[in-house]
Structure 1
Amino acid sequence: MPKAKAGDSVKVHYTGKLKDGTVFDSSEGREPLAFQVGAGQMIKGFDAAVDGMEVGDTKTAEIPAAEAYGEARQDLIFDVPKSNLPEDLKPEVGQQLAMSQPNGQQVPVTVKEVEEDKVIIDANHQLAGKDLIFDIQLVEIG
């Protein structure tokens, strides 16, 4: 039976969890996730976990932060004066916002703290700094 390898298009079902068991994403009830192995479409550790699997195989992969979304970076946490925010925005801790970069690209950010004259924004990926666990089932090599 063929094994998934770099360059193969594959479909997998998966459930992603944190170390405490909290599920942050799953393909359950949806179409399987399709991607090309080794093409950089997935986090490094997920790609590596699928490499070598056969159709029907299941595995649990523990992926350290460095092979997932990286470590949280302090330089991606910064202050924004409230005067720079839209007037109708009422920022709250945990709120998800989109910030425009100079090139026009939108970047998702999270409100970390709200102070009288400023808001502290975190532009790290929500899973940065976290070790992840994925239950993976290879459905198809195509």
Structure 2
Amino acid sequence: MTQSINTSSHVKLNFALHHASGQTIDSTFDKGAVELTIGDGNLLEGFESCLIGLVTGDHQTFMVPPQEAFGQHNPANLQTIKRHQFGPDMVLEQGLVVSFSDAANTELPGVVKTIDGDNVVVDFNHPLAGVELKFEVEILEVS
């Protein structure tokens, strides 16, 4: 009897994550399979839910809306920071990823969006926030 994926299954799979435009963001198809346990927090819930019910040998593609992937883009996550807060030797340019620490001393990456004189706008949204993603999976083993 073929075992289907449930909320505590151990799964070996290949996956590819594609931007809705078709650009490949990440893929294991050319690197080798990964193993994970459903519900262990290694895969976002929106992607895990696509796997439930699949069996060894399944090769499926799912469209995952932003709210089930990396969330919607939140304008409140755009912060204006004064240039002098970055340090005198840092070369700032649009698209630069800068690491900050929050109040709990957790690393918080942000992307420089604009630089206007002493004002630097940093976007703390996930780079894939607001993006519909195509999630392709090939199930190699379920236990």
State the TM-score bracket (shorter-chain normalisation).
over 0.9
Give the Å deviation of 1:82.
0.4
Give yes or no for contact 1:76–1:123 (8 Å, CA) kept in 2.
yes
The answer to whether the aligner puts 1:82 opposite 2:83 as a matched pair is yes
* TM-score, length basis structure 2: 0.93
Q: Which letter maps to 1:89?
A: M
Paired residues for 1:1-142 under 5 Å: 1-142=2-143
For 1:27 and 1:132, the matched residues in 2 are separated by 16
Give the Å deviation of 1:44.
2.1
Cα shift readout 1:8-67 (whole Å, capped 9, x = no counterpart): 111211111111101111113323222221344312221011111111110001000010
Query: Unmatched 5+ residue regions in structure 2?
Result: none
For 1:28 and 1:108, the matched residues in 2 are separated by 28
Query: Unmatched 5+ residue regions in structure 1?
Result: none
> Cα RMSD between the aligned structures?
1.2
Q: Which letter maps to 1:120?
A: V
Cα shift readout 1:69-109 (whole Å, capped 9, x = no counterpart): 11011111110100111211111111111111122111111
For 2:53 and 2:142, the matched residues in 1 are separated by 11
For 1:46 and 1:64, the matched residues in 2 are separated by 10
The count of aligned residue pairs is: 142
Q: Secondary structure at the match of 1:30?
A: coil
For 1:83 and 1:3, the matched residues in 2 are separated by 55
Q: Which letter maps to 1:74?
A: P
Q: Secondary structure at the match of 1:46?
A: helix
For 2:88 and 2:71, the matched residues in 1 are separated by 34
Cα shift readout 1:91-142 (whole Å, capped 9, x = no counterpart): 1111111111122111111111111102100000000001100111011223
